[in-house]
Chain A
Amino acid sequence: MIRFLTQVGLYFQFLKKVFSKPEKASVYYRQTMTEFVSLGLTSVGIISIVSFFMGAVITLQTAYNTENPIYPTYLIGLGCRDSIILEFSSTVAALILAGKVGSNIAGEIGTMRVTEQIDALEIMGINSASYLVLPKIIATLLFNPILTLISISIGIFGGWAAGTLSGVVTSENFIYGIQYAFIPYYITYSLIKTLFFAFIITSVSSFQGYYVNGGSLEVGRSSTKAVVYSSVLILMFNVILTQLLLS
């Protein structure tokens, strides 16, 4: 318990260091643009693929589980839309990003720690936590909502493709379903969750990498911890945010 509380305290001290005044805004801006590409743009592919198949399987599952003449088939489109917007594109995509981006961040910063690159930054008088982590946090906070919107669009498209190709729903009914009783706030809800999840993934993974002590074995362990802790926190905050935002 004491160890857990120590870690929590250290995490908040780390965040204080991360959010202190940047040394030189122009260098941070350049760094943020680099992170935009390495953490954001490179994730578009995996998010698109996963979202497409996620949308497809949701449509097929909904169709097979509501196979009853009293249910209109446009409900398949409605179910697909709400499932994707409310949960899959924010939470499931965040879990996937925790695996991809989280392990990447922890590995990168952890390697910098064990090869004394972080010490080199500190010697120069640079706040290493802020220089390394703040651009990553800003980049993911800006780009992950875009990823969520991409995921929603491709997920619904995947649902339409699977539904119409398998013949469980007509194109007209599916499109009617995704427009039926649409609540725009659900998109806002999904994007708010995405912002929280992006912050969790980046800060927790950076924290794990920043305090690595040892060699390559410990760097590997920190990557694993980054993914596990980020995933647990994402699921925990998913419950809290759902209660706060939808109740």
Chain B
Amino acid sequence: MIRVKNLDKAFYGKSVLTDISVEFEPGITTLIIGQSGSGKTVLLKSIVGLYDIDKGEIWYEDTLFNKLAFADKKKIRSEIGMLFQGSALFDSLTVEQNVRFPLDMFTEKSPEEKSDRLNFCLKRVNIINANSLFPSELSGGMKKRVAIARAISLNPKYLFCDEPNSGLDPVTAIVIDELIRELTEEYSMTTIVNTHDMNSVMEIGEKIVFISEGRKCWEGDKNEVLNSDCKPLNDFVFANSLAKKIKADAG
């Protein structure tokens, strides 16, 4: 369980997030949605500690994360897996070395055990016969899957995904969404996904948090998202003409 309380964040005096309070439960995929520039990525990076927050609290279980020193954050960070928007695979390492990297850094496993674990993770995300390829030789979808394999290699309790579908075609996007949902259930992870893709919302949105102009405007699930009274949310959900037509047809 991750709890965020009254979080404020500003850059150079300009407020980006204001008074955000939200809870993320284990075994559930929570989607943070909102327009580009609404503050989703800043919220995600604040929760994982990449940005220091100006005000508020971030709790991982019973630990007040944002007050810990860098060294003390290590234990919690070893339980975090993160999928970045651009995958953030290490360019100079092969697929195998990328997935092995956290195992080399944080475990005392034997080389055989590490190989077993990395091959299991790669197989779990359907990456086969690509161990020796470099990130530059992979497609966008493969990069995301390798990044997921790296993120789960240490069996994390928390999984963060920043725009996992950006730059992917709709079919591959659904594959990635499904993979995130399955892994969340399989390992009972607390999963937080940043997205502005409504397909993802309808596929895996067990809990949805809508952010607009740095504030939390709405919270609910995928069944409620289409029937909300929140105007900014409706403007966002029914922004494209296809969605507008479906809404009009539904009466």
Which residues of A pack against B, CB within 8 Å? Answer: 23-24, 27, 111-112, 115-117, 119-120, 122-127
Shortest CB-to-CB span from B182 to chain A, Å, is 22
**Cα distance A112–B93 in the bound complex, in angstroms:** 13
Closest to A123 in B: B82
B70: chain A residues at CB < 8 Å are 127
Produce 1/0 per residue, B116-143, CB < 8 A to A. 0000000000000000000000000000
B105 touches A27 (CB 8 A): yes
With contacts A124-B78, A125-B77 known, is A119 near B104, CB below 8 A? Answer: no
Produce 1/0 per residue, B157-175, CB < 8 A to A. 0001000000000000000
A124 touches B90 (CB 8 A): no
B95: chain A residues at CB < 8 Å are none
**How many residues of chain B are within 8 Å of chain A by beta carbon?**
25
B84 touches A120 (CB 8 A): yes
Q: Does B85 contact A (CB under 8 A)?
A: yes
A115: chain B residues at CB < 8 Å are 86, 88, 91
**Cα distance A204–B37 in the bound complex, in angstroms:** 33
With contacts A125-B78, A127-B70 known, is A120 near B88, CB below 8 A? Answer: yes
**Cα distance A126–B75 in the bound complex, in angstroms:** 11
B78: chain A residues at CB < 8 Å are 124-125
- Chain B residues 46 to 104 lying within 8 A of chain A, measured CB to CB, are 48-50, 70, 73-75, 77-78, 80, 82, 84-86, 88-91, 101-102, 104
A-B contact list, 29 entries, CB within 8 Å: A24-B104, A27-B104, A27-B105, A111-B91, A112-B90, A115-B88, A115-B91, A116-B84, A117-B89, A117-B90, A119-B50, A119-B84, A119-B88, A120-B84, A120-B88, A122-B49, A122-B50, A123-B48, A123-B50, A123-B80, A123-B82, A124-B77, A124-B80, A124-B101, A124-B106, A125-B73, A125-B75, A125-B77, A127-B70
B105 touches A116 (CB 8 A): no
Q: Does B215 contact A (CB under 8 A)?
A: no
